[in-house]
Chains A and B, each alone.
Chain A
Amino acid sequence: GENVEQHPSTLSVQEGDSAVIKCTYSDSASNYFPWYKQELGKRPQLIIDIRSNVGEKKDQRIAVTLNKTAKHFSLHITETQPEDSAVYFCAAASGGSYIPTFGRGTSLIVHP
């Protein structure tokens, strides 16, 4: 089955800095890669996703890049703000059945 590794487990940055979270996956059949944000005490919510036919996708301050050859994808957050503090999860899934495998999460702390 699919295995998703996520690093780092904790990331501490100063407000205004950039943050990068990296994930690797094992199954070359995976073709959909969502990222979820989970604020303290809340449910995970999708913030951005990317499909395997695209190398990069941006949405305001967040972007995701995908390297299919190396089987890794990354989340980039620019100009971080304290409200970006949360746990971020990456996931990988194959189209059709869509049974996502999640990474273990990255706790992002943005210091004012």
Chain B
Amino acid sequence: DADVTQTPRNRITKTGKRIMLECSQTKGHDRMYWYRQDPGLGLRLIYYSFDVKDINKGEISDGYSVSRQAQAKFSLSLESAIPNQTALYFCATRGVGETQYFGPGTRLLVL
């Protein structure tokens, strides 16, 4: 589904580096989410935004920050990456209905 895109798709970084993961959508949805997926732990919510001026913490926001630059763009930053932030990161959007649409994911490895 090209409507929700994430860049980069894969990233290797070193401990202490600052990195940004980007999400863009052409669905025109107001609501955007960032999730982290780890094996055996499911999808855990990091941050979510209901519109450009609205940012909310999820269950695991420590060590992360976000920016909603426009309705279509929602970025996730790791200010100082650490190895336990190695994971698969998904952006998702949601319109008027309940269905969430996920991006293709960004695989992050922190050395």
Q: Do A and B bind each other?
A: yes
Interface positions of A (Cβ within 8 A of B) = 1, 6, 9, 32, 34, 42-46, 49, 89, 93, 95, 98-100, 102-105
- Please state if A89 and B59 are interface contacts (CB–CB under 8 Å): no
- Contact, CB under 8 Å: A102 / B42: yes
> In the assembly, what is the distance between CA of A12 and CA of B100, in Å?
28
Chain A contact residues: over half helix, strand or loop, or mixed?
Answer: loop
Q: Which residues of A contact B104 (CB under 8 A)?
A: 42-43
Q: Tell me the count of chain B residues lying within 8 A, CB to CB, of chain A.
A: 20
Chain B nearest CB from A85 CB (Å) reads 17
Which residues in B have some Cβ–Cβ distance to A below 8 Å?
A: 1, 31, 40-45, 48, 58-59, 90, 94, 98-100, 102-105
B-side contacts of A49, CB under 8 Å: 98-99
**Complex Cα–Cα for A1 and B98 (A):** 19
Q: B98 to A93, Cβ gap below 8 A?
A: yes
B101 to chain A, nearest CB (A): 8
Across the interface, which residues of B come within 8 angstroms of A34, CB to CB? 98-100
Q: Is the CB of A44 within 8 A of B41?
A: no
Q: Check if A43 sits within 8 Å of B94, measured CB to CB.
A: no
Besides A34-B100, A43-B104, 15 other CB < 8 A contacts? A32-B98, A42-B104, A43-B1, A44-B43, A44-B102, A46-B99, A49-B98, A49-B99, A89-B42, A93-B98, A99-B45, A102-B44, A104-B42, A105-B40, A105-B42
A31 (CB) vs chain B CBs: closest residue: B98
* Complex CA distance for A22 and B102, rounded to whole angstroms: 23
Bound-state CA distance A49–B97 (Å) is 12
Nearest residue, chain A, Cβ from B102: A43
Please report the C-alpha to C-alpha distance between residue A98 and residue B49 in the assembled complex, in whole angstroms. Answer: 12
